[in-house]
Structure 1
């Protein structure tokens, strides 16, 4: 009998909630809307669901721009706000939709180095002494390590120095409480498929005073002429339902995932002792980057077969291993060994226990045949 597939790569994507998938399917029959010349039920439902999201984010409806996902939202920030040779501050471990976009866009990029003796805050303060910065774009939670950046301190500096602050909250929303009141950013990126919603939809919160400054990527008229195209109302409703559900269950889900992650790390420490290591610190429990001595992560992923983990971000197609772990000098020697386990709301103790069992088997058969005898 084949074993059920175990998915432990929830930082890459998540399984859409069944209730949301059914809701989207049922709403497909409402294909007419105000723009087609006739108001229909779908307009009222869409308005209701977006209103729920504005209450959660504590913002106005006009400050939400719907996009095809976080990548488009991040591109909109960089290309829509920055003109040639203007200066932007970001970190060296951002998502490729930030770093690669900045690389091809003709702007001056100043990088904050992670995992150095100097904190991001110290580096940021030093940079603003010598440069006039227009934008700071910082991820709230790193997608490969789970490390939480100190957004409140960064926001304080930005507001004091009149710097526009963009937060990529793709990995943070649904793991931390995020709204305009406690996350004082000018722009915030959120993705639906990271929070058990449909793919192909995301949003960019834009502070109302900044809206006139955005140059649209796609022109045509809709969404205050910032992002044109017929709105996919059923998918927007699905995204709104995902935001509402994850916000409602945040404490319960986080508690469950924290316990699963603690169980995983404790068992791996007991099993592999000093041969096991992981990146710790101020982080979310949902994402952990780890390694086992001498066990190549590419080999590991192939041998796990019925278990999905990752050794790099889903967007990284050009290299075999994580460029972010390479960037983090302190952990560079573990780059070819490191793998990411990202736990979601659907995972269980049995699945974590089975992963540990398979890791032990692979290590024993592939790396150290005497390992079993030493236990």
Structure 2
């Protein structure tokens, strides 16, 4: 098989040519390349105006105010800033406070919580069902007077499970608890209006919706009486003093353009992707010993995680080297076993038989057809040699 097929969109997406074209105007002496913090010259002023226009565009798309958008270098930084930035304000009595999260969160959340645990903060981890959903009744029962933050992702990056963040947001509002959402896998794919849902902090990055790598956002609800964020990076005081550092104008412009394109095409694209996911599953579900990790129907159409009994995933991926798939999240694929699949109750052997397909803007029916045929061929080949 000579054709290269990319089915790892949950890991990262290629930059859309329309985005790249827009970004190209912000690099050279003939473009808007200035430092947006340099107000003393026209180059800096133009750069500043471009940044603020992009900030306004992003805010309008997600239903926030311009001043609630803080630019960072990644979703991981945004998550760290959200959790650490909140908890730092309780440094005098860490041992009396707790954070609630789930065991299937992205490593950026789990490792940040582990760090806070070392400082004395109690971390309450919610278990999930064998399809990846958390019990909202148990969530409510775990809340105490010492709970200051709940961090739950919108869509799981490995199995596509969708959490009911609107319901959780209402709980947090009733209990006066700060609510953080990792929306990395949903922004640009799902419509989200922050005017209609109670979220205090929201993290995402551009490279998941065909924008450049190296640029993320932390949305911070403008409610100074409820909480404040302490900075992690100190310096020139950019981004209202919350995130210092010279702003990457070209990446910010690219992010705004990419998000605008994604949202304008969101309904049509989701419908198309849903058909591709069904096409793949219908074509491979008759493979002996195959199973789905998670829930096919009540999950993101952009992700499907499957396992094939007695087929080692690393061997499978090696044989399918021209088709880009993954065994787990990019952040753990080369280090440890998937904590998400483990949370479903899978044995180590079943986890090591699991792979993730994720679809995107440039995935075609023909590519899915090739993938189905090739997967059947490779599974037969591997089993023949066992």
TM-score of the two chains, using structure 1 as the length reference: 0.92
Pairwise mapping of residues 7-156 of structure 1 onto structure 2 (< 5 A)? Answer: 7-29=6-28, 30-33=32-35, 35-36=37-38, 37-40=40-43, 41-82=46-87, 83=90, 84-85=94-95, 86-105=97-116, 106=119, 107-115=121-129, 119-128=134-143, 130=144, 132-156=146-170
Using the TM superposition, give the Cα deviation of residue 184 of structure 1 relative to its aligned residue in structure 2, in angstroms: 2.0
State the distance in 2 between where 1:144 and 1:313 align. 6
Deviations 1:282-323 (A, max 9, x none): 211101110122111111111101111000110115635322
State the distance in 2 between where 1:144 and 1:331 align. 17
- 1:232 matched to 2:257? The reply is no
Tell me which residue corresponds to 1:276: 290
CA separation of 1:323/1:34 partners in 2, compared to 1, >3 Å: closer, same or farther?
Answer: closer
Tell me which residue corresponds to 1:366: 382
Using the TM superposition, give the Cα deviation of residue 231 of structure 1 relative to its aligned residue in structure 2, in angstroms: 0.9
Q: Give the SS at the match of 1:143.
A: coil
- 1:217 matched to 2:228? The reply is no
Q: Is the 8 A contact 1:256 1:345 kept in 2?
A: no
Tell me which residue corresponds to 2:361: 345
State the distance in 1 between where 2:363 and 2:310 align. 28
Deviations 1:331-355 (A, max 9, x none): 7652111110001110011111111
Correspondent of 1:292 among 308, 311, 315? 308
Q: Give the SS at the match of 2:192.
A: coil
CA RMSD of aligned residues (A): 2.0
Q: Give the SS at the match of 1:193.
A: helix
State the distance in 1 between where 2:24 and 2:257 align. 14
Q: Give the SS at the match of 2:311.
A: coil
Using the TM superposition, give the Cα deviation of residue 222 of structure 1 relative to its aligned residue in structure 2, in angstroms: 0.8
State the distance in 2 between where 1:119 and 1:317 align. 24
Q: Is the 8 A contact 1:115 1:330 kept in 2?
A: no
Q: Give the SS at the match of 1:144.
A: coil
Tell me which residue corresponds to 1:243: 259
Point out where structure 1 has 5 or more consecutive residues left out of the alignment.
Answer: 371-375
Tell me which residue corresponds to 1:303: 319
Q: Is the 8 A contact 1:175 1:284 kept in 2?
A: no
Alignment size in residue pairs:
366
Q: Is the 8 A contact 1:5 1:307 kept in 2?
A: yes
Q: Is the 8 A contact 2:158 2:303 kept in 1?
A: yes
State the distance in 2 between where 1:136 and 1:331 align. 29
Q: Give the SS at the match of 2:159.
A: coil
Tell me which residue corresponds to 1:373: none
Pairwise mapping of residues 184-203 of structure 1 onto structure 2 (< 5 A)? Answer: 184-203=198-217
Using the TM superposition, give the Cα deviation of residue 178 of structure 1 relative to its aligned residue in structure 2, in angstroms: 1.1
Q: Give the SS at the match of 2:101.
A: strand
Deviations 1:33-82 (A, max 9, x none): 45322133333333222222111122111100000010000000111101
CA separation of 1:330/1:33 partners in 2, compared to 1, >3 Å: closer, same or farther?
Answer: closer
Using the TM superposition, give the Cα deviation of residue 237 of structure 1 relative to its aligned residue in structure 2, in angstroms: 0.6
State the distance in 1 between where 2:205 and 2:214 align. 9
Q: Is the 8 A contact 2:37 2:48 kept in 1?
A: no
Q: Is the 8 A contact 1:143 1:171 kept in 2?
A: yes
State the distance in 1 between where 2:379 and 2:27 align. 49
- 1:165 matched to 2:175? The reply is no
State the distance in 1 between where 2:232 and 2:195 align. 28
CA separation of 1:158/1:116 partners in 2, compared to 1, >3 Å: closer, same or farther?
Answer: farther
